[in-house]
Amino acid sequence: MAEAQEKDNTWVIVGVCIASIVLLVVLLKKDETKHLQSGAVQALQQETFSKIEKRHTSNNSTAEQMSGK
């Protein structure tokens, strides 16, 4: 007689693990980007770039003054 074959749950466990990891990554990514929605980062970047531009223009004028122009 044929022996009873045991049910193999390996692929079910692998599938549940993969789905759990994908869900965890999506949830963490959503939480990570919350601070970008407030606009604080954009304001900080704008302030930083304006200071860099100011420093760049002040350095150029100082170099022109030093050369005697």
Whether this model's pTM surpasses 0.75? no
Cα 60 from Cα 54, distance rounded (Å):
10
Residue pair 35/41 in contact (Cβ under 8 Å)? The answer is: yes
Measure Cα distances from 51 to 33, 38, 47, 59, 61 in Å. Answer: 26, 22, 6, 12, 15
Model pLDDT for residues 20-68, shown as the tens digit of each residue: 999 999 999 887 777 666 677 788 888 998 988 888 776 665 555 656 5
